[in-house]
Structure 1
Amino acid sequence: MIRPHDLLRLNWPVTPATAPRWVVLALCRTPWVVARRALAAEGRVAVGVRGPHRAQRFALDVPLDAVAAVLPPEALTARAHTLRAELPAVRALHAVRPRLDRTGLRWGPGGSVGFELATGLPAITRDSDLDIVLRVEHPPPLAELAAVQASLQDLSVRVDCQLDAPWGAVALAELLSGADRVLLRTPNGPRLVWTETLT
């Protein structure tokens, strides 16, 4: 099952005629896209194309049979040694890896770090954050999540950790903030939900 944040390698061009030229060039450079949290028609999957610049993101749907390979974030950590070690986000990834591995939770990098791990193309900059995806079926106890959050606090870059479940995703920091309601990202769009329904 394809889930949001999974990296998908396409086996043929799927760009619509209305796509900007940079989208065509990006997919010629590397045929990888990122699965989005959005609804798609039967037999299709919602994806996003990453361009070389931060503002270059393009959403589209592609046929499932155009997907040649799927790399979930949790499959990418084994490739961490291939990254440019001098970058702050990469140093942060190496620092958090043993900490998160000890939790027994399924996790992996998303964002620019995940994209570079999947494609081998430079995507991480000196200003990149480290995006972490925690894959769960049901939210773990809050004490366990609080320990995860604490382990991410002493790093030199901002770490955006997202709890990703089949029914939606929520920022870990927001879930632990003590707020009565949090923003849940769902395939139907973001909505505010009572925190107690997620814990």
Structure 2
Amino acid sequence: MTILAFPLVISFLKPHASGLSLLRVANRNHHHPLFRPRRRFSVSAISTSSSSSTSIPQHSPSTDSDSDSNSNNNSSEAIKSPVPTFQQAIQRLQEYWGSVGCAVMQCSNTEVGAGTMNPLTFLRVLGPEPWNVAYTEPCIWPDDSLYGENPNRLQRHTQFQVILKPDPGNSQDLFIRSLSALGLTILLLVVLLDKDAKAHPFSA
């Protein structure tokens, strides 16, 4: 079984002149009783763009149609911006994981601390039946807003949870392709064992 969690944070998606960039947070030693080992994907991504010089257009009757076409092209380029919004990022992930056989479901109707606490994961992964699901889950962590060593004091996170059961054998490739669906060009992917991930005390 494979569990992929995508932390979708608005502050992590920042528009730049060169496209979308992922902020990399340096490893810090956190001492919190709710931390446990967990697999995390560390990604370095880059996107390229070409720069072009602009000049003031000459207004003449013969070039009115050209200026109209240029304005239409500019508007279409703005629509096709490589930097996805928060809503577009969720939509692209839903379309991708739905295309590879996952059932796209909705979030839980109660407050949870992680996407794993959704009954779609917490209960369905216990049995022997195959289960492939993807959903967006708002996560509430009040402790993140208190004083402490945890740098992620957002209190409310948005997590995109993916469950692949049984393990298809190419879960890492599927993960990389999902990042490509977001418009990211992958340069390096490192799978680490993060000891600073949080856990619910009753889920141990």
TM-score strictly above 0.5 = no
The TM-score by the shorter chain falls in which range?
Answer: under 0.3
Greater RCO (Cα-Cα under 8 Å, separation 6 or more): 2
Larger radius of gyration: 2
TM-score by length of 2: 0.25
